[in-house]
């Protein structure tokens, strides 16, 4: 792929909360294993090709062995790039990461105002840590480099960089939703967060709604001049462009994995164990924004209303552990464990239970095998920036037999609404009724819808997202 202007002298510098490699110690030796995920998939090849730099938290609390340490990755390949590891103290991990990032911004930006904590200690740590990240960038960046800052953890970094050097080229992409004005104004430091983001030359969002929400906040909170037609905002005599480009997946990776012999063998073993029982699959990180409790209530209603399906289908609930030390998440897991136990106790008979509950991270082969055997993928997000599970499921449905049931409040709905079955995740009866509808779909209709969804995801993969964002910057010479 062509990325004009990027080379070793004009580097792409990625700045994110975590570096794209998981670092572990084995017998006093550091082992680097590349993470999985859309962002890493898209950006790792560019940095390898152009010799870029990725700056992020090491994952460790401060340790002299990691302070200001730079390494080349992948370590076994000449085609590599540099990682610069930012080290956080225990207090910064608690207050910046667990606190302001995940107890203040995360719930607020997803519309959960009453789960947001507005703690001045959190805010001070967030400011301090954003300055720490920015200082690491300033030690490395030149005016020829492209600095691309990612996500809600680092919203102040663009503004800090701009104040230090007005000639820097700074991009910013928010991977989660941006709230409307009435929600965002609740944040005591709302103006500071907006000013931080506005340090960028180009700001990207997942959906058009998110971009409009941001522009409205610029107008209402800071009183700035905003062009809602061209998506441009004027700040400190600079014109900042705002765009919406939805992130995606590496379609070919999932499609090829689904065709691997190892995956097919595992798929066949799972099918044999199911004995013609249909599967309704849900996969997500442990998070209250994913509508897990609402889905469990809908499962209860489903079997209460449609008892003929007892013993004929199972709801396969895969939950990946997340933020296991944050109080809200500990409580949330206890609640869903109890809810699932009650549903299974209420409806189970002989060798069948309505909900099969898996709480752990799964290998790629196993997850894709579950995608393949599932008749329905049920996504009930109460609010989601995108939801890549929807796209992964579609990419793995070789032959096209499967139905995607998608929340109206997931960012993916803007691209997939024509061929997915849409639900309001707060409407329990509707979820149950749409599951019944999907189970009874005509096979030809299912295949036509899935093939159309596959083509949409294939044509708009994560590489197109990355190239579109960078090329918008180059072509508009912002």
Q: Where exactly are the structural domains of the chain?
A: 12-247+463-476, 251-460
SS3 at position 285: strand
Task: Tell me the CATH number of domain 12-247+463-476, given options 3.30.70.270, 3.40.50.2000, 3.50.50.60, 3.90.15.10.
Answer: 3.40.50.2000
Question: Per-residue pLDDT tens for 221-261?
Answer: 999 999 999 999 999 999 999 999 999 999 999 999 999 99
- 384 given a catalytic annotation: yes
Cα–Cα dist 174/210, whole Å: 9
Residue in the structure block whose two tokens are 């032959």: 399
Which is the catalytic residue, given 119, 175, 253, 375? 175
4 — pLDDT class (breaks 50, 70, 90): low
Return the sign of the alpha-carbon dihedral for residues 404, 408, 411, 413: positive
64 — pLDDT class (breaks 50, 70, 90): very low
* 12-247+463-476 and 251-460, same CATH topology: yes
The C-alpha angle 131, 132, 137, rounded to 5 degrees, equals 90
User: H helices then E strands: how many in the chain?
Assistant: 18, 18
Which is the catalytic residue, given 145, 210, 300, 384? 384
Superfamily of structural domain 251-460: Glycogen Phosphorylase B; (3.40.50.2000)
- Long-range Cβ contact pairs of 93-100 (< 8 A, separation 24 or more): 93/61, 95/121, 95/122, 95/124, 95/125, 95/126, 96/122, 96/125, 96/126, 96/128, 96/129, 96/153, 97/17, 97/57, 97/129, 97/153, 98/323, 98/325, 98/326, 99/125, 99/126, 100/125, 100/126
Q: What is the pLDDT of residue 46?
A: 85
Lowest mean pLDDT among 77-86, 103-112, 383-392: 77-86
Q: Is residue 410 within 8 Å of residue 387, measured between CB atoms?
A: yes
Mean pLDDT of 111-128: 97
Q: Is residue 470 within 8 Å of residue 344, measured between CB atoms?
A: no
Residue bearing the bigger pLDDT, 28 or 280: 280
Q: To 10 degrees, the CA torsion angle through 136, 105, 127, 218?
A: 100
pLDDT at 5 over 70: no
Q: What is the pLDDT of residue 24?
A: 77
Q: What is the pLDDT of residue 45?
A: 82
- Average pLDDT over the chain, rounded to whole? 92
**pTM of the model as a whole:** 0.94
Retrieve residue 458's tokens: 């294939």
How many percent of the chain have pLDDT more than 90? 80
Q: Supply the DSSP symbol for 384.
A: B
Retrieve residue 360's tokens: 């752990």
62 — pLDDT class (breaks 50, 70, 90): low
Retrieve residue 118's tokens: 């507005």
Retrieve residue 152's tokens: 């809600």
Cα–Cα dist 131/137, whole Å: 10
Going by their DSSP bridges, the two strands 146-150 and 225-227 should be labelled as unpaired
Mean pLDDT of 263-276: 93
Q: Which of 18, 22, 80, 15 is nearest to 46 (CA)?
A: 80
CB atoms within 10 A of CB 219: 15
- 175 given a catalytic annotation: yes
């Amino acid at each position: 792929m062509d990325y004009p202007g990027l080379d070793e002298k004009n580097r792409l510098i990625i700045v994110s909360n975590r570096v794209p490699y998981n670092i572990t110690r084995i017998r006093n030796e550091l082992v680097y294993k590349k993470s999985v995920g859309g962002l890493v998939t898209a950006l790792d090849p560019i940095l390898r090709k152009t010799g870029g730099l990725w700056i992020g938290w090491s994952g460790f609390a401060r340790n002299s062995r990691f302070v200001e340490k730079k390494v080349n990755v992948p370590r076994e390949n000449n085609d590599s790039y540099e990682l610069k590891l930012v080290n956080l103290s225990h207090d910064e991990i608690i207050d910046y990461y667990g606190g302001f990032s995940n107890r203040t911004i995360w719930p607020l930006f997803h519309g959960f105002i009453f789960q947001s904590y507005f703690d001045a200690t959190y805010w001070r740590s967030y400011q301090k840590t954003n300055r720490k990240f920015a200082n690491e960038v300033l030690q490395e960046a030149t005016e020829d480099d492209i600095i691309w800052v990612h996500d809600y953890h680092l919203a102040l970094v663009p503004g800090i960089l701009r104040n230090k050097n007005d000639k820097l080229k700074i991009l910013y992409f928010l991977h989660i939703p941006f709230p409307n004005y009435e929600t965002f104004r609740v944040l005591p430091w709302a103006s500071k967060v907006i000013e931080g983001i506005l340090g960028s030359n180009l700001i990207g969002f997942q959906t058009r709604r998110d971009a409009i929400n941001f522009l409205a906040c610029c107008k209402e909170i800071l009183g700035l001049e905003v062009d809602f037609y061209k998506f441009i905002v004027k700040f400190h005599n600079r014109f900042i462009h705002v765009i919406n480009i939805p992130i995606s997946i590496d379609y070919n990776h999932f499609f090829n994995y689904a065709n691997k012999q190892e995956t097919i063998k595992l798929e066949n073993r799972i099918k044999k164990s199911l004995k013609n029982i249909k599967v309704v699959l849900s996969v997500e990180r442990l998070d209250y924004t994913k509508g897990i409790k609402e889905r469990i209530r809908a499962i209860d209603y489903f079997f209460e209303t449609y008892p003929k399906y007892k013993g004929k289908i199972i709801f396969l609930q895969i939950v990946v552990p997340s933020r296991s030390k944050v109080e809200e998440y500990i409580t949330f897991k206890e609640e869903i464990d109890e809810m699932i136990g009650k549903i299974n106790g209420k409806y189970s008979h002989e060798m069948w239970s309505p909900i099969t509950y898996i709480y752990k991270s799964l290998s790629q082969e196993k997850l894709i095998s579950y995608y393949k055997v599932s008749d329905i993928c049920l996504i009930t997000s109460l609010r989601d920036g995108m939801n890549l599970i929807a796209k992964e499921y579609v990419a793995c449905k070789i032959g096209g037999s499967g139905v995607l049931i998608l929340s109206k409040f997931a960012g993916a709905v803007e691209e997939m609404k024509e061929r997915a079955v849409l639900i309001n995740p707060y409407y329990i009866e509707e979820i149950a009724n749409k599951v019944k509808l999907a189970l009874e779909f005509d096979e030809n209709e299912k295949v036509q819808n899935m093939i159309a969804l596959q083509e949409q995801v294939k044509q708009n993969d994560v590489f197109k997202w990355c190239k579109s964002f960078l090329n918008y910057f180059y072509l508009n010479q912002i």
